[in-house]
Amino acid sequence: MVKKKISFGTFFFLAILVLCSFCGCAKEEKRHLRLATTTSVENSGLLNVLLPEFEQRYGVKVQVVAVGTGRALELASAGDADAVLVHAPGAEEEFVNSGLGINRRTICFNYFLILGPPTDPAGAEDAETAQQVFLRIAESKSPFVSRGDNSGTHIKEKAIWHKAGLKPEGQWYLETGQGMGPSLLIADEKKAYILSDRGTYLSYKKKLELVPLYSGPDETLYNPYSIIATNPAKQASVNYEDALALINWLASDEGQSLIGEYRLDNQVLFHPLGAPKEQGE
């Protein structure tokens, strides 16, 4: 009879220990936040500076999916991302106006560049507008590489073609369907023109023979980045609390300082929202 009591008591004690150990581990596990982001903020290295600081401060592990802006918004719409960091204002406004996104905050900006071979066969360097550059490229049938992926950069490129009154087509126009970094390498190999965000270009600069041929001043090339939370009223499974924490932190003095201080080769890649809009850098 005594043996049975000891055996049961021991079993019960061990069970409690296992249960407490499990609960303790569960408490120690970090929460997860799914961030769908444009490839440019990852290719440029900016996220490697920002996210570790946020994760340490808030105890959240951020899972990054780097895709084009269009795909990022699709993931959030389906509830597969808790927040998006993107750079296509028109698409962002549509996402928010539809009720799928909330708490949109523009946190930084840079400017698009039109890159090309140093020989500049289309004569882009002395053009007066981005539309004129594209017109000269099309008229000379100089090779042009497009991302072709409905990213923020691709959306901007299509807008410039539209303003120029042109629909690009022909063997001179190549769509890669890839991110900014790989597309830059393809353009470099083909000695082609390409529209690129400034941040990714600077991070890939040492790998390229392409050079900036047109950067403004031209408001057409203004490139703002915004972060938006997925609306929990539309997708109940999303981690809205931590998405909001990330939005507020990126817009805080600490987050803005980290963005402004990030440099490559002593050059600024992204300007915090509060900084003056200096063009053609």
- Domain extent for 115: 111-221
How many Å apart are CA 198 and CA 113, to the nearest integer? Answer: 6
Say what the pLDDT of residue 274 is.
Answer: 63
How many Å apart are CA 92 and CA 73, to the nearest integer? Answer: 8
Same domain, 134 and 210: yes
Same domain, 136 and 261: no
Same domain, 127 and 208: yes
Residue 7 within any structural domain of the chain:
no
Domain CATH for 100: 3.40.190.10
Say what the pLDDT of residue 83 is.
Answer: 98
Say what the pLDDT of residue 23 is.
Answer: 44
> Where a domain ends, among 221, 243, 261?
221
Number of neighbours of residue 222 by Cβ within 10 angstroms = 16
Number of domains the chain is built from: 2
Same domain, 52 and 98: yes
How many Å apart are CA 210 and CA 19, to the nearest integer? Answer: 61
Residue 136 within any structural domain of the chain:
yes
Write out the chain in H/E/C secondary structure.
CHHHHHHHHHHHHHHHHHHHHHHHHHHHCCEEEEEEEEHHHHHCCHHHHHHHHHHHHHCEEEEEEEECHHHHHHHHHCCCCCEEEECCHHHHHHHHHCCCEEEEEEEEEEEEEEEECCCCCCCCCCCCCHHHHHHHHHHHCCCEEECCCCCHHHHHHHHHHHHCCCCCCCCCEEECCCCHHHHHHHHHHCCCEEEEEHHHHHHHHHHCCCEEEECCCCHHHEEEEEEEEECCCCCCCCCHHHHHHHHHHHHCHHHHHHHHHCEECCEECCEECCCCCCCCC
Say what the pLDDT of residue 22 is.
Answer: 43
Listed residue (211, 42, 242) closest to 118, CA to CA: 211
Say what the pLDDT of residue 21 is.
Answer: 44
Listed residue (187, 20, 42, 186) closest to 114, CA to CA: 187
List per-residue pLDDT tens for the chain, 281 residues long.
444 444 544 444 444 444 444 444 444 567 999 999 999 999 899 999 999 999 999 999 999 999 999 999 999 999 999 999 999 999 999 999 999 999 999 999 999 999 999 999 999 999 999 999 999 999 999 999 999 999 999 999 999 999 999 999 999 999 999 999 999 999 999 999 999 999 899 989 999 999 999 986 688 999 999 999 999 999 999 999 999 999 999 999 999 999 999 998 888 899 998 644 444 44
Residue 153 within any structural domain of the chain:
yes
Say what the pLDDT of residue 186 is.
Answer: 98
